[in-house]
A = this chain, B = another copy of it.
Amino acid sequence: MSLPRIAVDAMGGDEGVRVMVEGAALARRSHDKFKFLLVGDQARIEAALEDHPNMRGASEILHCDDVISGDEQPTRAIRRAKTTSMGLAVNAVKEGAAGAAVSAGNTGALMAISKIALRTMPGIDRPALAALMPTLEPHDVVMLDLGANTEADARNLLQFAVMGAAYSRIVNGFEKPVVRLLNIGTEEIKGTDALRDAAAHLTAASAKNEGGLALQFDGFVESDKINRGETHVVVTDGFSGNIALKAIEGSARFVTDLLKQAFTSSLRSKIGFLVSRPATELLRHHLDPNNHNGAVFLGLNGVVVKSHGSANAKGVAHAVTVAARLLEDKLTERIAHDLNELGAAALKENGNGTAPGSEALA
């Protein structure tokens, strides 16, 4: 099967053209069927390509010299979609010139441009941003929404559950990912009405359709358990998800900073550090965001992957590979199919965010 090519915004991100091209080349070393549309300044892309003979014949350049800046307002970015590398990369997906787009640029601008160019898929009210995070287990956990929507009602949360499960199945290979709603306690009475309604509907759907449902719903999860690995998909609104994601990142950095301080506090500890370096390298590898890079805008008519602004070539390669797998495994079609199984369409028609049948379960 030939894979549609991947449009890479070569100009977005802090690291510039060289790292984006190197990342694409690195991904291609493991997957030689990958093909690319590299969007950005032709001369700089050509210069970067010279170091990567494995990209010859596998990449086309779409020239443009304008770039969306890191702090550009989404409203302004939208107006500049036709002349910027980010806008043209997403547009290539809309026009069918590429199957997926990868950008390391401004998240808000990428979301806004993608929503307008690709539009929300049928059955989804609002797209969501989903990311991968490390766990104690070999697999990553998927968390969404991470900030595309400040608030979410029960219907949004259900749709996020379906989209997140599809992402987890493709990236981590689970047949029925364990899905939980992020809450401040695990008892049924905890949290907001939206959370309780979403939980009631997911529980009812699981009971009715145990065989066909593409996820296992298992109630609420608290944020101290996100990284344990027992939950495969953590579903929440964009405000709480953003708070949880950044709290986890900040706390991990805090502990590793303390560790560095401790290891350099005496000669003895410096020696201990050198001796145990292979162990701390293991830790560093496990926590390295480049090994978990590739947040995805789920719920659009097309695949758009956001690479960390500061990702290195390995990180870009990871994001490109995520995009390719989502394409290959037909993410959008899977979501459409699973939404149907969940009966989320019925919830949608209900229109008030309350799960049908949730009264009976209360």
- B-contacting residues of A (Cβ < 8 Å)? 135-136, 147, 150-151, 182, 184, 191-192, 222-228, 238-240, 242-244, 246-259, 261-263, 265-266, 268-269, 271-280, 282-283, 286-287
A266 B278 Cβ-Cβ under 8 A:
yes
The 8 Å CB contact of A276, one of B224, B226, B268, is B268
- Known A-B contacts: A223-B247, A243-B244. Give 11 more (CB < 8 A): A135-B254, A222-B246, A223-B242, A223-B243, A243-B243, A244-B244, A258-B283, A259-B280, A262-B282, A262-B283, A268-B275
Chain B residues whose CB sits within 8 angstroms of the CB of A228 once the complex forms: 250, 254
Chain B residues whose CB sits within 8 angstroms of the CB of A269 once the complex forms: 275-276, 278-279
Chain B residues whose CB sits within 8 angstroms of the CB of A276 once the complex forms: 262-263, 268-269, 271-273, 275-276
Chain B residues whose CB sits within 8 angstroms of the CB of A265 once the complex forms: 279, 282
Q: A250-B225, A276-B272 are in contact. Are A184 and B262 (CB under 8 A)?
A: no
Chain B residues whose CB sits within 8 angstroms of the CB of A255 once the complex forms: 251-252, 255-256, 283, 287
Q: A184-B242, A191-B150, A250-B223 are in contact. Are A287 and B275 (CB under 8 A)?
A: no
CB-nearest residue of chain B to A271: B275
Q: Nearest Cβ distance between residue A275 and chain B, in whole angstroms?
A: 3
Chain B residues whose CB sits within 8 angstroms of the CB of A135 once the complex forms: 254
Q: In the bound complex, how far is the Cα of B240 from the Cα of A251, in angstroms?
A: 16
Q: A243-B184, A250-B224, A250-B248 are in contact. Are A272 and B279 (CB under 8 A)?
A: yes
The 8 Å CB contact of A254, one of B182, B227, B275, B278, is B227
Q: Nearest Cβ distance between residue A316 and chain B, in whole angstroms?
A: 22
Chain B residues whose CB sits within 8 angstroms of the CB of A227 once the complex forms: 250-251, 254
Q: In the bound complex, how far is the Cα of B274 from the Cα of A185, in angstroms?
A: 38
Chain B residues whose CB sits within 8 angstroms of the CB of A239 once the complex forms: 184, 191-192, 240
Q: Nearest Cβ distance between residue A116 and chain B, in whole angstroms?
A: 19
Q: In the bound complex, how far is the Cα of B258 from the Cα of A228, in angstroms?
A: 11
Q: A250-B227, A262-B282, A278-B266 are in contact. Are A182 and B287 (CB under 8 A)?
A: no
Which of A147, A184, A247 counts the most B-chain CB atoms under 10 A from its CB?
A: A247
Chain B residues whose CB sits within 8 angstroms of the CB of A147 once the complex forms: 184
The 8 Å CB contact of A240, one of B151, B240, B273, is B240
A243 B278 Cβ-Cβ under 8 A:
no
B250 A266 Cβ-Cβ under 8 A:
no
B280 A262 Cβ-Cβ under 8 A:
yes
B283 A259 Cβ-Cβ under 8 A:
yes
Chain A to chain B: the 9 pairs with minimum beta-carbon distance, closest first: A272-B276, A224-B250, A272-B275, A269-B279, A247-B247, A251-B251, A262-B279, A223-B247, A224-B246
CB-nearest residue of chain B to A184: B242
CB-nearest residue of chain B to A193: B150
A279 B254 Cβ-Cβ under 8 A:
no
B252 A279 Cβ-Cβ under 8 A:
no
Q: In the bound complex, how far is the Cα of B254 from the Cα of A228, in angstroms?
A: 7
A246 B275 Cβ-Cβ under 8 A:
no
Chain B residues whose CB sits within 8 angstroms of the CB of A192 once the complex forms: 150-151, 239
- 6 CB < 8 A contacts A-B: A135-B254, A192-B239, A259-B283, A265-B279, A266-B278, A272-B274
